[in-house]
Amino acid sequence: MSTVAPAAWRFPCQKCPLRSIAEFREFSPSELEFVASFKTGELTVEAGTTVISQGSRTAHLYTVLSGWGFRYKLLDDGRRQILTFLLPGDFIGLQASLMTEMQHSVEALTGMLLCVFERERLWQLYETQPSLAFDVTWLAAREEQTLDEHLLSLGQRTAEERAAYLLLFLFHRAEIRGMTKGNTVAFPFTQPHMADALGLSLVHTNRILNQLARRKFIAIGQRQLELRNRSKLTEIARWEPPPAQLRPFI
């Protein structure tokens, strides 16, 4: 980990470039001040790094400043389920701070820059910053909603519906964070990642994805995803994005 003196941080909270993203609610000066004092470092990791691992006890909480990652769980024989994808603005490690040990792992999909917070100080946040405490809960509740939807997907949607849902979901999340250009987003996922997120075999994932591409609903290439027929995908997935809402960015 690369912890340096506050003055030298590449992204001091007060001028964090992410804070200007429309999806994030504005923080008051005092909230910002607390967040700045809560921050204890910046962590840079390269693609493929395991940031948090199942069974461990971390002393930290993180906010993603840049890059993509994912949370996953493993079965003891190696089967892997990807639970969620992480992108800039996402908050991770809360479970570890409240529970005894981590029940999932986090891996970087691209290089990532993470903002580091001390879990010990989380309690202080609850004591002195009710609005931020509320935000932390809000984030947890939002994650819960996302997991609910994924559960619906794995339990009830067919392979094609699931794939359409996942692509729409990823695109939508990136879009409201201002990370898309037209119908295109950066797409650092490989098919093994998609397969483990969809709960399908690699071979079948490949066929389903190609099927969507052949029908010109999507195009994947050059580490980019293009949604070529969003309404058709929506129809297949039977999914509409949840109502827009301002999100806290801690």
Min CB(87)–DNA separation in Å: 19
User: What gap in Å lies between CA 121 and CA 127, rounded to an integer?
Assistant: 10
User: What gap in Å lies between CA 191 and CA 206, rounded to an integer?
Assistant: 7
What does 99 interact with, of DNA, its own copies, none (CB < 5 to 8 A by kind)? Answer: its own copies
Using CB under 7 A, which residues numbered 160 to 189 contact DNA? Answer: 160
Which residues lie below 8 Å from residue 109, measured CB to CB, with a gap of 6+? 47, 67, 68, 69, 70, 85, 188, 189, 193
Per CB under 7 A, does 209 bind DNA?
Answer: yes
Min CB(111)–its own copies separation in Å: 25
Using CB under 8 A, which residues numbered 130 to 149 contact its own copies? Answer: 130-131, 133-134, 136-138, 140-145, 147-149
User: What gap in Å lies between CA 69 and CA 249, rounded to an integer?
Assistant: 17
Residue 239 vs 249, nearer CB to DNA: 239
Contact window for its own copies (CB under 8 A) among 22-30, 80-88, 106-114, 218-226: 80-88
Say if CB 114 and CB 60 are below 8 A apart.
no
Identify any residues that bridge with 106 across adjacent strands, giving them in sequence order: 52, 71
Place of tokens 């052949």: 214
Tokens of 77: 């024989």
What does 140 interact with, of DNA, its own copies, none (CB < 5 to 8 A by kind)? Answer: its own copies
Residue 143 vs 161, nearer CB to DNA: 161
Min CB(218)–DNA separation in Å: 12
User: What gap in Å lies between CA 229 and CA 157, rounded to an integer?
Assistant: 20
Residue 1 vs 202, nearer CB to DNA: 202
Place of tokens 């794995």: 154
Place of tokens 């392979």: 159
Tokens of 122: 């989380």
Q: Which stretches of the chain bind its own copies, using CB under 8 A?
A: 71, 73, 75-77, 79-81, 83, 94-95, 98-101, 103-104, 123, 126-127, 130-131, 133-134, 136-138, 140-145, 147-152, 154-157, 196-199, 238, 242-243, 245
